Structure 1
Amino acid sequence: MDGFDVFILDFLRHTAGVSESMLTWLYPLTAAFAVALFSYVCTAVFRFIVMPAVQKLTERTKAKWDDYIFNHRVMKAFRRIIPPVIWYVALPLVLTHSPGLLSFLLKVCNIYLVVVSLLFVSAFLHSLYEISEEHKKLRNRPLKGVFQMFDLLAFVVGLILIISIIIDKSAISVLAGLGASAAILMLIFKDTILGLVAGVQLTANDMLRPGDWITMQKYGANGYVREVSLTTVKVQNFDKTITTIPPYLLVSDSFQNWRGMWAAGGRRMKLSVNIDANTVRFCSADDIARFVEKGYVSASQYADAGFPVSNTQVYRDFMIGYMRSHPDVNKDLMIMVRMLQPTPEGLPVELYCFCSFTEWAPFEMFQSSMLDYAVVMAREFGLSIFQRPAGTDLKG
């Protein structure tokens, strides 16, 4: 840079007419301004020539990942790194005679370089997260917390570097000094640390994905997972309210995930009809013949039974046959009708099967129609549904 020094000195002495006494402080300022101007020109070239060229190049490729890696946010963050890099290289060459000013400017330059580097890392991580959202195998993974963890880690490293620059100590010395206040740091970042560990467990064990329907009655959560971050899990309940739960509670406490229901292709229906015990009786041969005409049961089922057949047994067999032939019942999963323990409200007959509909509204329609059919058909078998007497029943 000797030629640059001579050029600046000649310009100040002969062209600008600066006296020798003023050169001692005017030359460093002029040299620093020239370096800043050069960095501005380089940044402008990158902004108006390189960035548009890269954008056109990425648009021509068939791959989508480069659209995220080289998007405007990442390129803008990278553009901010150019000036401090140029300052860091050029200032020691032009300010050899001003060590005090050089030391101050380099310190400012290093701090600024760390800050813009953190912004670039954050933008780059965000682009990687967007790529994962487009990937078929990764889009349903709770990776947002993982990327937030790396973002936080970069921030901590940057903060340590900035402190070390300000106090003129090595980063290792600063880190050793922070070890003495580890308890305070753990208290401040308690939720973040717990969320980090929980996020790793949730991801590694595939316990939770965005879009899962979870139930956690203890905290009023019953809906779809909308976001899994480092410190919160947002659940949109069916009443459209939002419940936020710290991730570590999902690991330390129990919650119900309904993802297996969709994977199995069936939603469980478990209903019971209370039969009046006074209407339970044995069936005659004529009763069996009459019940067989209704379908779903055959006379051969009871021909060699060896014991009297009750109307509740035929009713249960009838409902099993009906559910097995129903088009909306998943035949690959459990289908069962059973008699439960008698109660003061009657003899409960439980209908158990899995509906092919997993969405709420179609499932409720199926469940209601199945209950209606079970109640109506009970009368055909001489059975009465038990219910407590109402005021109108007691008028007589």
Structure 2
Amino acid sequence: MKIFNWAYKIFKELGFSELWADYSNLAINIIILIITAYVLDYIFKKVLIIIMAIIAARTKSTFDDFLVANKTAKYVAHLFTLFFVHKTVPIIMKDFVYWEGVFSKGIKFYIIVLSLWIIRSIFNSLKDYLKGKEKYKDKPIDSYIQVIMIALWIYGVIYFILILFDTSFGKLLGAFGAISALILLIFRDTILGFVASIQVTVNDMVRIGDWITMEKYGADGDVVEINLATVKVQNFDNTITTIPTYFLISDSFKNWRGMQDSNGRRMKRSILLKSSSIRFLNDDEVDGLKKIQLIAPYLDRRQQDISKYNESNSIDKSVLINGRNLTNFGIFRKYIDQYIATHPGINKDMMFMCRQLQPTQNGMPLEIYAFVKDKRWVEYEHIMADILDHILASVHYFDMEINEIGAIKIEY
């Protein structure tokens, strides 16, 4: 007991008793402040959430519904509480300058972070709202928001450093200049993605919903998401391919949007015919082909023109090669032209034709070039298949043969 009394006497003489009392009062004040802040935060949060829910229920716009879903009211309630604490701390810590500075800096840091969270929740609500609008469904809204949030976070980090070290913006900028090379190395992909995202948006290269093909990365499907770093493509086999955004600038890819926005989808098919089966036709053979209704008027007209020319020039027709003649290959081409021109699935306002290609060692290529009205994949394939089936079945009527080596070439 004597030892305790002696220790307490020394403690009191050194002034520790008053210091203990001061810190006890400070601790009590801090506890009271924490409890008060918690109660206020709970009240603010409940009131704001209820008010926001009532407003969302009574308005026709869905934007406020998204604000509720993204917890904007909750973050704003925290902000009100922080402002209360920020104003109260200098009062309860007026005798503790050091701790007042520490607490004030901590509160300012939290206010910065919370403000950024509030802005992010508002932007997320705006993103969800705009994606529900037909006008903005194909726009890379994620990229825009990410660019803005990166800029705001950079500003927040700068402000954070200024508060932490009590320095000026000029000194901080000088320090950043000294380590700029390191910053560029660390954030290389982010910077490249940022620049590429701006170029993709400004040049309207890709939109959400576009069908793109990028063979180098195995992408062949619809773009489902565009953000600052990546572009997500859902392939037709339902797999997902992720492509870095800046690869859309540095590498080549095919965007099928032009086809989808046009009035037809191109079909380009070529068949190989045996060169040995191509020959001249005599009058009896031409008369036999007049039974084919699509080319009967053409044959009448051409036969008259050819006969008139040969007679006026005294052509010896005992040998077919003399003068002008019809060939089975030429008549077959004309038949395909007429067939395409009358097919209901072909857009007649766009180019269509049947043409010869450069002869090959495998035979004579005959190409059908036209645009199908129905651009939907399944229907498009069915129409193309019907046309090709008919053409392949028609070959023998013209006494021609398909070359089985590389018989059909397909190109979209």
TM-score normalized by the length of structure 1: 0.87
Q: 2:345 corresponds to which residue? A: 328
Matched, 1:385 2:408: no
Q: 2:227 aligns with which of 222, 226, 229?
A: 229
Structure 2 CA distance for aligned equivalents of residues 338 and 36 of structure 1: 85
Task: Indicate conservation of the 8 Å contact 2:52/2:64, yes or no.
Answer: no
- Give the AA of the match of 2:46: F
Q: 2:126 corresponds to which residue? A: 128
Q: Deviations over 1:212-261 (max 9, x none)?
A: 11111222222221211111112222333322211111112221100111
Task: Indicate conservation of the 8 Å contact 1:226/1:235, yes or no.
Answer: yes
> Relative to 1, partners in 2 of residues 1:101 and 1:388: Cα closer, same or farther, differing over 3 Å?
closer
> Relative to 1, partners in 2 of residues 1:21 and 1:260: Cα closer, same or farther, differing over 3 Å?
closer
> Relative to 1, partners in 2 of residues 1:238 and 1:26: Cα closer, same or farther, differing over 3 Å?
same
Matched, 1:356 2:373: yes
Q: What number of residue pairs does the alignment pair up?
A: 371
Q: 2:410 corresponds to which residue? A: none
Q: 1:275 corresponds to which residue? A: 273
> Relative to 1, partners in 2 of residues 1:74 and 1:318: Cα closer, same or farther, differing over 3 Å?
same
Q: Deviations over 1:250-277 (max 9, x none)?
A: 1122211001111013221111111112
Q: 2:257 corresponds to which residue? A: 259
Q: 2:199 corresponds to which residue? A: 201
Structure 2 CA distance for aligned equivalents of residues 365 and 133 of structure 1: 34
Structure 2 CA distance for aligned equivalents of residues 59 and 289 of structure 1: 80
> Relative to 1, partners in 2 of residues 1:301 and 1:231: Cα closer, same or farther, differing over 3 Å?
farther
Q: 1:367 corresponds to which residue? A: 384
Structure 2 CA distance for aligned equivalents of residues 335 and 123 of structure 1: 53
- Give the AA of the match of 1:272: S
Q: 2:328 corresponds to which residue? A: 311
Task: Indicate conservation of the 8 Å contact 2:354/2:368, yes or no.
Answer: yes
Matched, 1:287 2:299: no
Task: Indicate conservation of the 8 Å contact 1:55/1:71, yes or no.
Answer: no
- Give the AA of the match of 2:119: V
Structure 2 CA distance for aligned equivalents of residues 135 and 345 of structure 1: 54
Q: Deviations over 1:122-142 (max 9, x none)?
A: 222211221221222221012
Structure 1 CA distance for aligned equivalents of residues 79 and 170 of structure 2: 25
Q: 2:149 corresponds to which residue? A: 151
Structure 2 CA distance for aligned equivalents of residues 301 and 385 of structure 1: 28
- Give the AA of the match of 1:104: V
Percent identity of equivalent pairs? 33
> Relative to 1, partners in 2 of residues 1:139 and 1:27: Cα closer, same or farther, differing over 3 Å?
same
Instruction: Report the CA distance between 1:71 and its aligned residue.
Output: 3.8
Q: 2:176 corresponds to which residue? A: 178
> Relative to 1, partners in 2 of residues 1:285 and 1:76: Cα closer, same or farther, differing over 3 Å?
farther
Matched, 1:74 2:75: no
- Give the AA of the match of 1:286: D
Unaligned runs of 5+ in 2: 1-16, 310-323, 407-412
Matched, 1:54 2:52: yes
Instruction: Report the CA distance between 1:118 and its aligned residue.
Output: 2.0
Structure 1 CA distance for aligned equivalents of residues 125 and 70 of structure 2: 11
Task: Indicate conservation of the 8 Å contact 1:280/1:312, yes or no.
Answer: yes
Q: 2:318 corresponds to which residue? A: none
Q: 2:185 corresponds to which residue? A: 187
Q: Deviations over 1:3-59 (max 9, x none)?
A: xxxxxxxxxxxxxxxx97654223323333333333223222222222112211121
Instruction: Report the CA distance between 1:308 and its aligned residue.
Output: 1.6
- Give the AA of the match of 1:135: K
Unaligned runs of 5+ in 1: 1-18, 390-396
> Relative to 1, partners in 2 of residues 1:171 and 1:42: Cα closer, same or farther, differing over 3 Å?
farther
TM-score normalized by the length of structure 2: 0.84
Q: 1:10 corresponds to which residue? A: none
> Relative to 1, partners in 2 of residues 1:339 and 1:251: Cα closer, same or farther, differing over 3 Å?
same
Instruction: Report the CA distance between 1:388 and its aligned residue.
Output: 4.3
SS in structure 1 opposite 2:90? helix
Instruction: Report the CA distance between 1:106 and its aligned residue.
Output: 0.5
More displaced 10-residue stretch of structure 1: 167-176 or 311-320: 167-176
SS in structure 2 opposite 1:62? coil
Structure 1 CA distance for aligned equivalents of residues 290 and 86 of structure 2: 94
Instruction: Report the CA distance between 1:301 and its aligned residue.
Output: 4.2
Q: 1:84 aligns with which of 74, 82, 87?
A: 82
Matched, 1:27 2:18: no
Q: 2:39 corresponds to which residue? A: 41
Task: Indicate conservation of the 8 Å contact 1:337/1:350, yes or no.
Answer: yes
Larger Rg: 2
Structure 2 CA distance for aligned equivalents of residues 258 and 175 of structure 1: 46
Structure 2 CA distance for aligned equivalents of residues 135 and 36 of structure 1: 44
Structure 2 CA distance for aligned equivalents of residues 233 and 92 of structure 1: 50
- Give the AA of the match of 2:369: Y
SS in structure 2 opposite 1:169? coil
